[in-house]
Chains A and B, each alone.
Chain A
Amino acid sequence: MRNIINLIKINFINIFKGMFGYGKKTGRRFFISTIVIFALLYFVFGNLMDTFMQYFVALNSPNYIFFVGALLSFAFVLFLITYESQNYFFKTKDFDILSALPLKNSEIVIAKYTSVLLSAYIYSSLIFFPTIVVYFMYTPFSMPILLLQILAFIFIPLVPMALGTLLGLIISFVTSKLKHSNAITIILFLMLFVAYFVMFFYMNNFATQIVAGGDTLINSMQYYLPSVAWYFKGFVDNEVLYLFLFMLFSIVMTSIVLICLTLLYKKINYALIKKKLPKYKKAYSFKQTSSIVALFNIEAKRYFSTPMYVLNSGFSLLFMLIVPIILKVSLQSFFDINQGISVSYLLNILVLLNAMFAGMSNTTYASISIEGKQINMLKSLPLKSSNIYFAKILFNIVLSLPFILLSNIITIILFFNQLDWFLTLMLFVVPILSLLAFSTFGLVLNLYLPKFDYDNINQIIKQSITLIIIVVLDIIVAFAPMFLINYIQNIFIIFGIIIFAYLIIFLTSLILLKTKGENLYNKLHY
């Protein structure tokens, strides 16, 4: 027990120091930024649950919000933990050290599992806490219900956590045996993401079916999502048997996965580490290129070899392609629910959404940090800092621009009759400006806030302060005008403001790179 507690302590210190750094100033900065982003996320999910709650209240079945909350939480945690668990259990830097210590596999596994469980609780809380708040916005407050839901929350992430870890284990093991393991991992996760998104998008219809189906639907769900169904029957319908069944099932699933991990932990890690030098059959190429092209190629190879990096920006790029299609497919049902909203209003929103996705496809926010220990080698080379910056920004643009153009072509084809010349122009101008603005701004930010001493690439790709700032600013710049649309009816002015905002970000970033870029580069070192 003492070993487990010590290992958990070490893991948490490592995670938090990795996120917050060792300096009080950087730690405080990151802490405040984290609070801000979480507040934003709770607000966004709260609004989402509020939308569902309005359906359920209208149909006189408010309790079903808990079913939707549990279901979304299940899917959310399952997806994210599948993605995240691989980096905590397999091919970790501490494997050799821990294996050499007098520690049982079970102790190591339990400690690591606890670390990942923390993430699962955080992800689950993003949906479940707003669910509880929204429920009590529409129903009289009840302490017993609140306490019951808090008790339920302790168990809700356990099953998706267990399944996500198992899935992550399988994906890790299988892809490690395949030649293009990185590409396969990326494609698998993107497919999972698309499936999740489609399911999520159709929750509107599903919500109505839940109420219409009632107990019959919940009962039938026991066979493929027992934890969600039993949670609802136990903690919402107050059927005591299902309450205990849900808790027992959660504990049993967790135990099974822990046992599997304990038995396989070292075997899988050995299998992943053991790699002979691959035989290279082709003749070596000695083609000469310019240093900018060479730097660009390094960026590209590093990006596509790091699944986490690809997925982080890949989701936004995929969204850009999917959203116009889903909008077209669900257009009629959308208008049935939201009367008074015109197609051109939706298309204006689509322009802003694409701009937001273009900003979120940013790769430069981590492109300095990701150099890691190689920064010293890079700095010893006769390379102008401006060339290094240009290659990084260019890569981001070359990556995202085709998706913007393709998304616009899809939109034009699907909404040909509803698009006027101005909106068509904005479809191209606004997202491209967003891409330019955030690709330069991301780099400036990373130059001011570099982090080279990371153990886990998650620390700079998913948990970095630069990502938080980029996401928050991107959402504000894209969404703020959506509120203005209610007050300023002139669409030319709205888009003028947005274009102005992106231009300011882009030009300011360019000026900073030009005037301070060299100095900032000189200060970088590992």
Chain B
Amino acid sequence: MLKIKNLTKRYGEKIAVNNISLEVESGQITAFIGHNGAGKTTTLKAIAGILDFDEGEIFVDGKNVKTQPLEAKNVIGYLPDNPDLYDNLKAIDYLNFIADVFKVDKSTREQRIKTYGERLKIYGDLGAPIGTYSHGMKQKLAILGLLVHKPKLYLFDEPFVGLDPLTSHELKLIMQEECKNGSAFFYSTHVLEVAEKLCTNVVIIKDGKIVGQGEMEKVTKDESLENVFLELEKTDEKHN
């Protein structure tokens, strides 16, 4: 579903992402973990087509993100770490806008908005302007906006930040359901306990380079993900 080959992204002289390669298959939930400034958001934005990159290739469902951007974006759902949505729109108008862009027909969008809106406990407030929403509600709305068009690849940047426990639990269930339907999730997070329980795979990035990746069980072995992560951070410091 997602194939990254030798991705490099520079901001001037600083190399934010340094020659990384990874794959995410359909049905997988992959956690993308790393310290602040490691290159997680840059990688996610490059996949989503928001940022141009200097070297390498990214394929989403077989489509090259650079040469076939519209085809690739058609199967991607991107959730930013801070959901900056159109404050002046009503939530329902925003959802209709997203559905129009992805050409979701009237009955399908209605059914999905109702179903997932109720599960995320936001359906009753969709008539309100987004500017009146709290951060958590904007996060819910942004998630709902992805579920309206059901992408094949979900790119989440810190999806659980700002969500109440009930919604977090519901989101995890939705992620597992979507995976069973063949979608894939690639999400960055600092909440390692959740990642350990929820994810099938993990990619660890440090200073723009991948320092560990694979199936969760194989990467963590008998240790916690947190310990593995801290060990990898320490190892690199010793080498430096």
Contacts and interface: CB of A to CB of B under 8 A. Distances in A.
Interface of A: 275-280, 282, 284-291, 293-294, 297-298, 301-302, 305-306, 372-374, 376-377, 379-384, 522-523, 525
Nearest to B105: A288
B84 interface: yes
B100 A302 contact: no
Interface in B83-109: 83-86, 88-90, 92-93, 96-106, 109
A302 B86 CA distance: 8
Contacts of A284: 92, 113, 126-127
Contacts of B127: 278-280, 282, 284
Interface string B57-85: 00000000000001101101010101111
Interface in B121-164: 125-129, 132-133
B132 A377 contact: no
Given A288-B106, A291-B101, A383-B101, A277 B92 contact: no
Contact of B74 (A285, A379, A382, A522): A382
B52 A377 contact: no
Residue from the set A278, A377, A522 with the largest chain B CB neighbour count within 10 Å: A377
Contacts of A288: 96, 99-100, 104-106, 109
Nearest to B89: A301
B84 A306 contact: no
A288 B101 CA distance: 10
Interface string B194-227: 0000000000000000000000000000000000
Contact of B100 (A278, A285, A294, A525): A294
Contacts of B83: 377
In the A-B complex, the 8 residue pairs with the smallest Cβ-Cβ separation, listed nearest first, are A280-B127, A305-B88, A373-B84, A294-B100, A380-B78, A382-B73, A380-B48, A286-B110
B173 interface: no
Contact of A290 (B51, B88, B100, B133): B100
Interface of B: 45, 48-52, 70-71, 73-74, 76, 78, 80, 82-86, 88-90, 92-93, 96-106, 109-110, 113, 125-129, 132-133
B93 A280 contact: no
A280 B117 CA distance: 15
Contacts of B106: 286-288
Residue from the set A277, A282, A305, A373 with the largest chain B CB neighbour count within 10 Å: A277
Given A377-B80, A523-B52, A286 B101 contact: no
Given A293-B100, A297-B97, A301-B88, A380 B73 contact: yes
Contact of A294 (B84, B97, B125, B128): B97
Given A381-B98, A525-B45, A277 B132 contact: yes
Nearest to B73: A382
A284 B110 CA distance: 9
A280 B100 contact: no
19 contacts: A277-B128, A278-B129, A284-B126, A284-B127, A286-B109, A287-B96, A287-B106, A288-B96, A290-B100, A291-B103, A301-B86, A301-B88, A302-B86, A376-B84, A380-B73, A380-B76, A382-B102, A523-B52, A525-B45
Nearest to B114: A284
Contacts of B89: 298, 301-302
Contact of B45 (A278, A290, A306, A376): A376
Given A282-B127, A284-B127, A382-B70, 11 more contacts: A291-B101, A298-B89, A301-B93, A302-B88, A376-B80, A379-B48, A380-B78, A381-B73, A381-B98, A384-B70, A525-B51
Given A284-B92, A294-B100, A297-B97, A374 B86 contact: yes
Contacts of B52: 522-523
Contacts of B86: 298, 301-302, 374
A298 B48 contact: no
B49 A379 contact: yes
B132 A278 contact: yes
Contacts of B74: 382
Nearest to B80: A376
Residue from the set B52, B70, B74, B86 with the largest chain A CB neighbour count within 10 Å: B86
Contacts of A297: 93, 97
A276 B125 CA distance: 11
A278 B71 CA distance: 38
Contact of A280 (B70, B101, B113, B126): B126
B142 to A, nearest CB: 8
Given A301-B93, A305-B88, A382-B74, A373 B101 contact: no
